[in-house]
Amino acid sequence: VYVERLERMSKYKVYITDYDYKDNEIEKSILEPIGAEVIGLQCKDGIGVADQAKDADALMVQYANINRQTIVALPNLKIIARYGVGTDIIDIPAATERGIVCTNVVDYCTDEVADHNISFILMLVRRLPMYVAETKKSAWHWSETGRPVHRFTSLHVGTIGFGRISRNMCRKLRALGFQVGAYDPYVSSQTMEAEQVLPLEFNELISSSDVVVLQCPYNADTHHIIGKDELKSMKDGAILINSSRGKLVDNSALYDALKSGHIAAAGLDDLEDEPAKKFNWSASGNRLFNLENCFITPHVAYYSEESLVEARQNASYNVRAVLLGQEPPNRVG
């Protein structure tokens, strides 16, 4: 009875294209009071969204690709709200042409992603997994990991991208004693210097850093920003960290660099094949899982219980604002 009454009262239809949490209660608590019906789908590849959400006033998107074809097929659509920071899965120009607002969620996982990067760095600089593996073989000596371990104060960390997350990470790394540099064509050297971070050119950062961290958006310019040539230019024994989009790194080239030992280790929170967007993904399809010096987490750098709640609330407030004819807090298009 409640559902039937809600459907009759609904002014707006809000479709959640895909989600990996247990329910939609947070979204409903914010949107139902304005007369919105919240409908959860599980269409994380984006195929079929237009057929399932024909009467959508709003789409809330986690992983689904929302392309021009989908946008054109939804005549009532007013907003596409992304749960995360990146918006590369949304055709923003197509949405803008039709007067559809696009939003994202910023700041909700700044600490989480920064801390995930730092956790990778500390783990691999101190070579903890390698020591653990050797003790299981009854080896018990500081030299058993195959490479030397250096103190933090002698190591250079270079971050590609200097947005909120990178700045948070760099402050913490500096407190631990690391020397930190950054490359970002959209951030001034004065801003970097104010954060006590050394401004570097791209090639300079690649060749001089003991640890290279990718913390930049994915787009046509950053596709395979780390490929065969860049990996070859990195220091022998360098470490690569990527908690951004998987397609920033050429996985085949990285495999070769790790297999050869030129790159000592890698910590990745996503892969080029982006498993979170696949229904039938298997680790057997990516050779990186066969390497003992490559450590992969399942796109969880953004996650804490607190950040997940914040992302869902903020995405819902973006939708609420647009449906009420107001300016959303986090408009990107």
Q: 247-276 in b/e burial notation, b at 16+ Cβ within 10 A? A: bbbbbebbbbbbeeeebbbbbbbbbbebbb
**In whole angstroms, what is the distance from residue 238 CA to residue 220 CA?**
26
For residue 188, the SS3 value is: coil
Point out the catalytic residue in the list 116, 127, 299, 312. 299
Cβ(183)–Cβ(170) below 8 Å: no
Q: How many CB atoms lie within 10 A of CB 231?
A: 23
Q: Is 166 exposed, middle or buried (0-12, 13-18, 19+ CB in 10 A)?
A: buried
List of residues 6+ apart from 309 with CB closer than 8 A:
26
Catalytic annotation present for 262:
no
Q: How far apart are CA 78 and CA 41, in angstroms?
A: 18
**Which residues on adjacent β-strands are paired with residue 37?**
13
- Cα–Cα distance, 14 to 43 (Å, whole number): 14
Q: Rounded CA gap, 75 and 314, in Å?
A: 25
Among this protein's residues, is 245 annotated catalytic?
A: yes
Annotation says 320 is catalytic = no
Angle made by CA atoms 269, 271, 273, in degrees to the nearest 5: 150
Backbone angles phi, psi at 237, to 5 degrees: 90, 10
Q: Indicate which residue of 127, 156, 245, 320 is catalytic.
A: 245
Task: Give buried/exposed letters for 71-96 (b at 16+ CB in 10 A, else e).
Answer: beebeebbbbbbbbbebbbbbbebbe
Say how far apart CA 205 and CA 158 lie, in whole Å: 6
Catalytic residue among 32, 134, 144, 274: 274
Q: Which residues are catalytic?
A: 245, 274, 299
